[in-house]
């Protein structure tokens, strides 16, 4: 009887945790409503993708937590089909995992996964920065500067979520500016795979946000000056610093 009782309690706790996390995700999505009245099925899929991607990144849902397709469909106000298609795309980009039985959960990366992704990023992104500096448009440079300003303001007040959003737009901009589309998309996907580990959790990490922001400013200055060699060098140093910070988080969490 005691074993049965304990299993019952465990199931209750797990169900409570699941409902709490889904409620958190739903509240975040509900706070960012969009009018779907004129959207076709393809656009609905893209809207669901963008909103779910934003929520997974910023609603503080821990890695490995399950997601309910039905509840996501209900809170988004659209059918399950575009939600399912959006989740499949997010799975391809490494933000969610679709496991046997059609269960879906927030991607949970192992230490080995993080090491592998950082190795790939170090191979790809420094060289990509050289290409970006040689091909970026003035409008894209302006967008990067806008992101840097937002990151500086967010880091100053400890707004990690605001910082992460600006950082994401910054990286999406350099991905789009890369003349080699496959390289730009691959670099962005690699970043997405370990994005969850970049969310710092204590006040001591605020200085890391400030340091990272300064590195983003330096890279933006190099790109704005069309100095590909300098941009490449700064990105390499930035990724080495990121690797050290992430290792600290994974080892001491």
How is the chain split into domains, by residue range? Answer: 2-106, 111-252
Using only C-alpha atoms, the chain has a radius of gyration, in whole angstroms, of: 20
Q: How far apart are CA 175 and CA 178, in angstroms?
A: 5
Using the structure block, give the residue that is written with the tokens 């400013």: 217
Q: What is the pLDDT of residues 152-176, one digit of tens each?
A: 999 999 888 889 889 989 999 999 9
Report pLDDT for 196. 62
Provide the 8-state DSSP code for 68: -
CB 141 within 8 A of CB 223: yes
pLDDT in tens, 204-238: 477 888 999 999 999 999 999 999 999 999 999 99
Q: Whole-model pTM?
A: 0.74
d(CA 79, CA 81): 6
Q: Of 169, 109, 180, 123, give the one whose Cα is nearest residue 142.
A: 169
| Topology annotation, domain 2-106 | Arc Repressor Mutant, subunit A (1.10.10)
Q: Which residue has the tokens 């945790």?
A: 17
pLDDT of residue 66: 82
**pLDDT score for 173:** 97
Predicted pLDDT of residue 197? 59
CATH code assigned to 111-252: 1.20.120.530
- What confidence tens digit (pLDDT) does each residue in 88-133 have? 888 887 788 888 776 888 877 777 888 899 999 999 999 999 999 9
The pLDDT value given to residue 239: 93
* Contact of 105 with 60, CB cutoff 8 Å: no
Cβ atoms 164, 155 nearer than 8 A: no
Closest to 52 in 3D by CA, of 17, 28, 36, 81: 28
pLDDT at 106: 83
Residue 180 in this model has a pLDDT that exceeds 50: yes
Instruction: Pick the most confident of 66-80, 172-186, 197-211.
Output: 172-186
What's the half-sphere exposure (Cβ side, CA atoms, 13 Å) at 123? 9
Residue 107 neighbours by CB under 8 Å, 6+ apart: 63, 94, 95, 96, 97, 193, 196
> How much is the average pLDDT of 50-63?
80
pLDDT, residue 47, reads 87
32: closest CA among 52, 46, 61? 52
Higher pLDDT, residue 188 or 11: 188
Q: Which run of H or of E encompasses 99?
A: strand 96-99
- Angle at the Cα of 234 (from 232 to 235), degrees rounded to 5? 65
- Taking only the tens place, the pLDDT of each residue in 15-49 is 445 555 667 777 777 776 666 555 666 688 888 88
């Amino acid at each position: 009887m005691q074993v049965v009782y304990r299993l019952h309690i465990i199931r209750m706790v797990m169900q409570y945790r699941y409902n709490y996390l889904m409620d958190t995700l739903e509240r975040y999505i509900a706070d960012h409503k969009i009018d779907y009245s004129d959207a076709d099925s393809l656009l609905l899929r893209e809207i669901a993708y963008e909103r779910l991607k934003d929520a997974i990144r910023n609603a503080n849902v821990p890695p490995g937590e399950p997601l309910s397709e039905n509840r996501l469909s209900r809170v988004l106000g659209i059918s399950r089909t575009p939600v399912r298609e959006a989740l499949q795309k997010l799975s391809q980009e490494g933000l969610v995992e679709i496991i046997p039985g059609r269960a879906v959960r927030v991607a949970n990366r192992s230490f080995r996964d993080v090491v592998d992704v950082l190795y790939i990023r170090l191979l790809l992104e420094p060289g990509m920065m050289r290409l970006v500096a040689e091909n970026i448009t003035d409008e894209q440079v302006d967008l990067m500067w806008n992101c840097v300003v937002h990151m500086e303001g967010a880091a100053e007040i400890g707004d990690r979520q605001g910082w992460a959003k600006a950082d994401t737009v910054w990286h999406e901009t350099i991905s789009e500016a890369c003349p080699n589309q496959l390289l730009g998309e691959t670099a962005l996907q690699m970043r997405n795979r370990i994005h969850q580990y970049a969310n710092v959790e204590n006040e001591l990490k605020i200085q890391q946000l400030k340091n990272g922001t300064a590195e983003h400013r330096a890279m933006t200055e190099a790109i704005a000056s069309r100095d590909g060699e300098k941009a490449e060098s700064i990105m390499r140093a930035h990724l080495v610093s990121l690797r050290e910070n992430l290792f600290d988080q994974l080892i001491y969490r």
